[in-house]
Amino acid sequence: MELPRGLRMPSEIVTDAIDLRRLGGNGADGLPPGHDGSGEGSFRSGAVPQRTYVTGMLVALGGILMFFAALVSALVVRKGLSAVAWQAVEVPRILWLNTLILLGSSFTLSRSRRDFLAQDQAGFRHWWGVTTILGLFFLAGQILAWRQLVAAGVYLATNASSSFFYIFTAAHGLHLLGGIAAMLAVAFRRGRHLARGTAVEVVSIYWHFLDALWLCLFVFLLVQDRM
């Protein structure tokens, strides 16, 4: 018996489904839905676009920015309410070097990302590693700055100004430490879900943000005693 056009026997549908499973996917090329074969900007086995992760990172950065803005506001209010003269903390000179190191890491990270997009894996790994090392140098420099303050008799509880200095630098250092951990994860571990291209993009945004944030904090720490 001949079926009307557009109708198919159940056995034909089952046969097509089996053939599709043998191909390993839901498309003609055997790839999962939303996977273009390159692994860029999506889950390896899903259809989540890269912009989803970028958007999530931007939202997280907005929260971090609000946190530091609250700290700045608290410092300004505390300085205005002080019953005695505000005793500003002299910024250790090593912070100038730390700032240059962190700014340099942004340039090396941009170079690494450019090599990644050019599919130069050797160049990508080299400059990615250099960026990670510069981040570690920055954290070591921050610890050295704290040691210099301690040697000068300036502690966390010495006065309000010293308290805010330690809080600002420690909070930024913890966020940068998280960035270093993410960079190490990208360099040495291939995630089963998140594609490397997406990870590189998201981590780069986070790192550049922390660089810009530190530059603003450093300038603020330099001029806040004149406010």
Domain CATH number, residue 191: 1.20.120.80
pLDDT of residue 33: 40
pTM score of the predicted model = 0.77
Q: Is the residue at 6 inside a domain?
A: no
**Quick one: average pLDDT of 68-86?**
83
Task: List the single range of 12-21, 63-72, 155-164, 193-202 with lowest mean pLDDT.
Answer: 12-21
pLDDT of residue 87: 81
What is the domain range of residue 164? 50-226
Cβ-based burial of 208 (10 A; exposed 0-12, middle 13-18, buried ≥19): middle
Sign of the C-alpha dihedral computed for residues 90, 92, 97 and 98 taken in this order: negative
Q: Is the residue at 42 inside a domain?
A: no
Average per-residue pLDDT for the chain: 82
Backbone dihedral angles phi then psi of residue 118, each to the nearest 5 degrees: -85, 5
Q: Is the residue at 38 inside a domain?
A: no
pLDDT of residue 40: 44
What confidence tier does 88 reach under pLDDT thresholds 50, 70, 90?
A: confident
**What's the rounded Cα separation, in Å, for the pair 90 and 88?**
6
Cβ-based burial of 128 (10 A; exposed 0-12, middle 13-18, buried ≥19): buried
The three-point CA angle 164-170-176 to 5° equals 140
Q: Is the residue at 39 inside a domain?
A: no
What confidence tier does 35 reach under pLDDT thresholds 50, 70, 90?
A: very low
Q: Is the residue at 10 inside a domain?
A: no
**What's the rounded Cα separation, in Å, for the pair 171 and 67?**
10
Q: Is the residue at 18 inside a domain?
A: no
**Quick one: average pLDDT of 113-134?**
95
Q: Is the residue at 16 inside a domain?
A: no
What domain count does the chain have? Answer: 1
pLDDT of residue 216: 96
Number of Cβ within 10 Å of residue 94's Cβ equals 14
Q: Is the residue at 13 inside a domain?
A: no
Chain centroid to Cα 206, Å, comes to 3
Q: Does position 8 have pLDDT exceeding 80, yes or no?
A: no
